[in-house]
Amino acid sequence: MPQLTFHGHATVSIHTADSKLVIDPFFSENPHFLGSLDDIEADYILVTHGHYDHVADLIGLAERTGATCIATFEIASFLESQGLNASPQHIGGGVHYPFGYVKLTAALHGGMVNLPGAEAFTTLPAGILINFSSGERFYHAGDTALLTDMQLLKGKVDVAVLPIGDRFTMGPDDAVTAVEFIEPKVVIPCHYDTWPPIEQDAAAFAEKVGDRAKVRVMAPGDILEF
């Protein structure tokens, strides 16, 4: 049974029986992160896109842990050029790993890669769909607008992490529509309240979702087993 820990903003870690995953490592400058980056463990680091608030600790964490970084071809290529372990994928493509099958899905957002020395790199943003070997199905939308492509995920997701911050991603109303498209069992709102421009009322979002799904509003450090 995977165990998800929410670290604030859009960063989560997931521990399975045999693998430790981190998605979008943003710890040291994350105002809501609790604890120490030195305590974060990773066998795999999954990256939705290259913006600073999703990759700020990517290189440091990968260097310390030796984790395999799963990302779009452009980001993976840069990481390999820095001597790091990387597994390149791209939108619509999937790869089998010991913990399960990872497919990158479409997202609509910016493509800049905010890593030292990677200023010339751009890439498509992505969502991450994981079918765990133990049977659970997980989706992290990354930073994205509402996409009709999300309807392709209908019935294929148990737990969905969706941004609700508005301004830079879809807001609460569009996120409700995303829930209607995907029909997950559980929804975790993310990418809100980190800074004033993306302040949102997560409880109001949960009320709007209603009985479409169970909304789990997670504080940093909260754990969900699914």
- Rounded to whole angstroms, the Cα distance separating 46 from 70 reads 5
Q: How large is the average pLDDT for residues 129-133?
A: 98
Specify the pLDDT at position 13: 98
Model confidence pLDDT, tens digit, residues 104-126:
999 999 999 999 999 888 999 99
Specify the pLDDT at position 119: 85
Model confidence pLDDT, tens digit, residues 11-36:
999 999 999 999 999 999 999 999 99
Model confidence pLDDT, tens digit, residues 157-210:
999 999 999 999 999 999 999 999 999 999 999 999 999 999 999 999 999 999
Are 146 and 182 in contact by the 8 Å Cβ rule? The answer is no
C-alpha to C-alpha distances, 181 to 32, 146, 149, 160, nearest whole angstrom: 30, 10, 9, 12
Closest among 83, 82, 90, 40 to 61, alpha carbons compared? 40
Residue with tokens 């597994």: 87
CATH code, 10: 3.60.15.10
Specify the pLDDT at position 120: 82
Torsion of CA 17, 106, 200, 112, to 10 degrees: 100
Structural domain for 148, as ranges: 3-225
- Rounded to whole angstroms, the Cα distance separating 11 from 147 reads 22
Domains: count for the chain: 1
> Could you tell me the pTM of the whole model?
0.98
Greatest Cα pair distance, the chain, in angstroms, is 48
